[in-house]
Structure 1
């Protein structure tokens, strides 16, 4: 028999009070693991009791699990018509995931959309340049809007007749379903909000249907396997499953890139030496070009390390969850089948046993020799195993492109006195945004 997993005593409120007192689930995890060690039993709102694991070596024992806890993902069910894609059973999930990876993780897909992504980033940079740098920019607001435009262009193949309408409809849906989840105040009565969200959802599905129709045999458009909808059509997926896949792809990606880039710029603003090194690398690799080509990203090695270190300190998605289908052993502990296993990415990334001085920003942690010293699962911003994020490769390409364009053109300085506090709102958000002064920089002027 294994030893009993340590943790706080159960509370009548299901743990909600403890989470609120800590300032959110992400902070509560840090407190739990500091108090009880690498494996903790705790009350998880919506799942009764869960086991949280912050040790990357012990996480290996869970890496094969291919089941998500249904109750924790129920809030997404209304967005799906053919079954909640977040909790599909393994036999259905595996072929769907394989198809998604063939598109999202492939270089042809990234290259196909790279030019459009670059146009969208350049448009934002031009807008910032036109503001003259006198007023601070709200990074997360502007960059998550950019992120949504990018994933909208990607998921719909750039073929939506009215991209602005797509963005507005998607934001309406998110406000309702995520606002309900986090009890964020939203204007209007419950009935009005539900009706607006329903209309927006119907509009999005109709948009997807029009794009799907253009890919059907006989439409005159070849199904391109580097295009998400084209690949789904070619694979014979049902119309409902295609609509669901586009919705979930947009949902998973609408904030990720913008949030990751925002935290990266926040950290560079507080570490001018690192910002100078990034600027020098960009000048060297890009020469007099304002925008990288896809092949340039591989040569921006320091920029890549900076992004990884930012996602270690501020993982866009701060945690994940699985459900055991059989008993398993975690160190000295036995975990029964049917247990919710909680992955506290933030606590894993700040584990001092694998990250010396974990709160410090040190991009050099991601030099190849340093990476080789750490367990495989010490760094998991996109999760791991058969339910990890299918769009990890695409999100990385987007984030590196956005950072390259913005840091090639601008310096970013913190707004004096502006507090930046991480809060968990589906992604790791900043409570009052990340406000920074943005001013033009001259090429060749790498060091501040």
Structure 2
């Protein structure tokens, strides 16, 4: 059967994406209008098909090629070629190396104490704000915190500690630099308005890239040389594997980008949802009090016992997946469906509309609602494997998924054991596409101490 979709546009689809507010929202609209498989136009893709049904997605999970034109906006970050689109034969060994560093539970446990120190330092700073008294006796803690700003900086510190063997002096500056580079190039790709003249934007992106490369060089230069038994150090593993210096710098760059976004954004959206659902927040707090007692932070083994917190994080990443979509390119004709009714030609860009998959009402009743109980073992067993894909699928899925979950659950446990979070009245939280699902004007919340009963 022919794959349904909107009529072709003279602008190649730019206007439709912009009118929807970004590709993440456009995909929701497409699937609501045309069903589980949709063809559409997109800048950088001659032919594009989006698949929002988890059963049909199984037929695409083997694809190991990313469309080069769609990832061109990342090319300025790299010296040895865009690591996001490296050929499959080169990507396989590189992925295995990253997994050896990022996916090991013993390595997570060895670094857990340092992660806890970093998370506790942020909590202490927020607690200090809550204790300060301002004019007319008002507590400074009633002034909002900017979750994305602080939590992405924390996540960047964590990935530097874990994978790079070092610390960076100004993580906030690095976060801003990544945003400047990506916003400029995403704006070019999708025609999204970006503040400033073309020359000003180009200069801002150039300066940001200079900052990023200098930061990476400092991290690499500060790496301790010598034999290391701990292969959780990414640089050490790359050196041992014989990678050349430029490739090491590129790998460091991509890990800093992916890790600081994913974890910081996931925690920010989770706190946003808990602030709007105080009953769920209280249940999380009760679990933390029961499992941790008087302790301010969990041990690594405690994470397995924080089952409701785990469900809350999963439901948050269902509603606000840090990466709202993924893309692959077919290298041969593909037939989806029990009878092969959807024929996708070779050379087609296949989109994984992660947000639309997570909002598919056939598998998620009343999908807009925040219901952590969707992730009980019984509920999970009743859904297709690919109904929940916050870290992507197949051979190009996120290598750092396991690490990101450990970091996110630790940070949430530390913060929710000590604080209550409330939304700032009148502050609108709008998801936008900035390589991840970002809040346009941050997520501002008031933080107050909680006193366990």
> Distance between the aligned counterparts of 1:200 and 1:173, measured in 2?
9
The aligned residue for residue 316 of structure 1 is: 322
Root-mean-square deviation (CA, aligned residues, Å) is 1.8
State the TM-score, normalizing by the size of structure 2. Answer: 0.92
8 Å CA contact 2:309, 2:409 repeated in 1: yes
Match of 1:430 in 2: 439
Q: Distance in 1 between matches of 2:209 and 2:331?
A: 35
Counterparts of 1:11-410 in structure 2, within 5 Å, are 11-132=9-130, 133-157=141-165, 159-160=166-167, 163-165=168-170, 168-169=173-174, 171-182=176-187, 184-185=194-195, 189=200, 192-193=203-204, 195-212=206-223, 214-215=224-225, 219=226, 221-222=227-228, 224-331=230-337, 332-410=341-419
Deviates more, 1:282-291 or 1:303-312: 282-291
Q: CA deviation at 1:196?
A: 2.0
Q: Deviations over 1:297-339 (max 9, x none)?
A: 1111100000000000000110000000110112211111110
Task: Pick from 389, 407, 414 the counterpart of residue 423 of structure 2.
Answer: 414
- CA–CA separation in structure 1 for the residues paired with 2:413 and 2:213: 37
Deviation, structure 1 residue 174? 4.2
Please, which moves more after superposition, 24-33 or 228-237?
228-237
C-alpha deviation, 1:416, in angstroms = 2.0
Residues 172, 197 of structure 1: 8 Å contact kept = yes
Shift of 1:202: 3.7
Cα–Cα, structure 1 residues 77 and 192, in superposed 2: closer, same or farther, change >3 Å? closer
Measured in 1, the distance between the counterparts of 2:142 and 2:450 equals 15
Residues 190 and 365 (structure 1 numbering): CA distance in 2 closer, same or farther, change over 3 Å? closer
Using the size of structure 1 for normalisation, the TM-score is 0.92
Cα offset for 1:233?
Answer: 1.6
Please tell me whether the aligned partners of residues 270 and 312 of structure 2 are also in contact (alpha carbons under 8 angstroms).
yes
Displacement of 1:190 in angstroms is: 5.3
Q: State whether residues 261 and 402 of structure 1, in contact with CA within 8 Å, keep that contact through their aligned partners in structure 2.
A: yes
> Following the alignment from structure 2 to structure 1, what is the Cα–Cα distance between the partners of residues 175 and 286?
38
Residue 145 of structure 1: how far off its partner (Å): 1.8
1:187-237, Cα deviation, whole Å (9 max, x unpaired):
97356435523532441342244145x33xxx4x42531221122222222
Take 1:240 and 1:418, find their aligned partners in 2: how far apart are those partners?
43
Describe the superposition over 1:50-83 as per-residue Cα deviations: whole angstroms up to 9, x where unpaired: 0000000000000000000000111212222222
CA deviation vs aligned residue, 1:11-31 (integer Å, no higher than 9, x gap) = 111111111111211111111
The answer (yes or no) to whether the contact 1:350–1:358 under 8 Å persists in 2 is yes
Q: Measured at CA, do residues 191 and 23 of structure 1 come closer, stay the same or move farther in structure 2, by a change above 3 Å?
A: closer
Distance 1:56 1:189 in 2: 43
- 1:23/1:190 Cα in 2 relative to 1: closer, same or farther (>3 Å)? closer
For structure 1, the residue ranges without an aligned partner over 5 or more in a row are none
Q: Find the residue that maps to 2:438 and give its secondary structure.
A: strand
CA distance in 2, matches of 1:205, 1:416: 39
8 A contact 1:143–1:258 mirrored in 2: yes
**Structure 2 unpaired stretches of 5+:** 131-140, 188-192
Q: Secondary structure at the match of 1:289?
A: coil
Counterparts of 1:181 and 1:55, CA distance in 2 = 27
Q: Which moved more, 1:404-413 or 1:146-155?
A: 146-155
Deviations 1:349-387 (A, max 9, x none): 010111111111111111111111000000000001000
Q: Is the alpha carbon distance of 1:442 and 1:186 closer, same or farther for their aligned partners in structure 2, counting shifts above 3 Å?
A: farther
Q: 1:265 & 1:127 partners in 2: Cα distance?
A: 17
Residues of 1 paired with 2:42 and 2:375: CA distance?
A: 33
Given the superposition, is the C-alpha separation of residues 357 and 174 from structure 1 closer, same or farther in structure 2, using an over 3 Å criterion? closer
| d(CA) in 2 for partners of 1:303, 1:340 | 36
